[in-house]
Amino acid sequence: MTDKRIEDLASAEALDEGRVFIGKRRAKRGDVVREGDEVRVNERRDVEATVTFLHRDARLVAVDKPAGIATVPDTRDAHNSLVHRVARELRVSPESLHVTSRLDRGVSGVVIFALSATARDDLQNARNSGRYFRRYAAIAARAPEPREGEWTAPVAGKPSRSKYRVVAVAPRGALLAVDPVTGRTHQIRIHASGARSPLLGDREHGGSRTLVLPSGKVLALERIALHCARVAVEGIIDVRAPVPEELRAWWIAIGGEDAAWSALD
């Protein structure tokens, strides 16, 4: 086979939606395919999910990410990722959005995008100086001991810190407020699991896969019971995302009282 341009092998639509791969690398327009290269075009998947804008100005955009979509393009596709959804809404290129925080696919809540390199740097400086605050709501299988403290186990070999507090205890779990100080991948999930308090729905870290409702019906947990409820950057932005109804329903199902959510602040 002679060298070919990727446009000869895949449609422009598939390329723009991030569904074309050369080996393990996502292809882009103008790429050259050489003999021996493996080209894969993934089928388009349309995921129903509503992205709510929480804040928008000339420098920053904050959105409420639903569970079930990736923050940035992954090996599945780019079209359904949060960054591409926000870019389509703003009618800008995805490359013009600077992702300043990421949430795992199964996690919901506040995600902030910077619209310029300067705004991105301002947020990074706030992180470095301890002026970047995040509050997560989590439902764990049990209350950790002690009921308030700090988890400091390394994550992926790197120093990591998560402050936590038990907000309320239910017969079959506990509601936690967690403030990550560092930002490692899966940090809260790993720390909670290490404290023998895995989060509901977090199959990767020992969480329950199902929940038995008061009616006796067994509910498959399709997301992780973790939600970024607030991000506050001193002097820059302070936004909140309401707790999703499915997490409120899970909390009731394990015997919790709905009024407990008001004690997250």
- Same domain? For 228 and 255 the reply is yes
Looking at residue 74, which CATH number applies to its domain?
3.30.2350.10
Last residue of a domain, one of 95, 124, 153: 124
3-state per-residue secondary structure call for 153-222: CCECCECCCEEEEEEEEECCEEEEEEEECCCCCCHHHHHHHHCCCCECCCHHHCCCCEEECCCCCEEECC
- Same domain? For 35 and 57 the reply is no
Cα 173 to Cα 112: distance, rounded to the nearest angstrom: 30
pLDDT of residue 154: 97
Q: What mean pLDDT is predicted for residues 105-130?
A: 95
pLDDT in tens, 153-189: 999 999 999 999 999 999 999 999 999 999 999 999 9
- Same domain? For 185 and 79 the reply is no
Higher pLDDT, 101 or 12: 101
- Same domain? For 242 and 182 the reply is yes
Q: pLDDT grade, residue 47 (50/70/90)?
A: low
Q: Tell whether 12 is covered by a domain.
A: yes
Task: List the single range of 146-155, 206-215, 231-240 with lowest mean pLDDT.
Answer: 206-215
- Same domain? For 67 and 163 the reply is no
Q: Tell whether 197 is covered by a domain.
A: yes
Q: Tell whether 31 is covered by a domain.
A: yes
CB contact burial 159-189 (16+ within 10 A = b; e otherwise): ebbbebebbbbbebbbbbbbbbbeebebbbb
Query: For residue 242, with 0-12 CB atoms within 10 Å meaning exposed, 13-18 middle and 19 or more buried, which class applies?
Result: middle
pLDDT of residue 5: 81
pLDDT of residue 217: 81
Residue 230: name the closest of 58, 74, 111 by CA. 111
Higher pLDDT, 225 or 48: 225
Calculate the average pLDDT of the chain: 90
Q: Tell whether 46 is covered by a domain.
A: no
Q: Give residue 145's Cα distance to chain centre.
A: 26
* Domain range for 95: 52-124
Rg of the chain taking only CA atoms, in angstroms: 20
- Same domain? For 169 and 245 the reply is yes
pTM score, two decimals?
0.83
Q: Tally the domains of the chain.
A: 3
Last residue of a domain, one of 75, 101, 124: 124
- Same domain? For 119 and 23 the reply is no
Q: Tell whether 47 is covered by a domain.
A: no
- Same domain? For 248 and 206 the reply is yes
Q: Tell whether 141 is covered by a domain.
A: yes
Cα 163 to Cα 111: distance, rounded to the nearest angstrom: 20
pLDDT of residue 211: 86
Q: Tell whether 73 is covered by a domain.
A: yes
Q: Tell whether 189 is covered by a domain.
A: yes
Q: Give the percent of the chain with pLDDT over 70.
A: 92
- Same domain? For 141 and 236 the reply is yes
Cα angle: 12, vertex 18, 23; to 5 degrees: 100
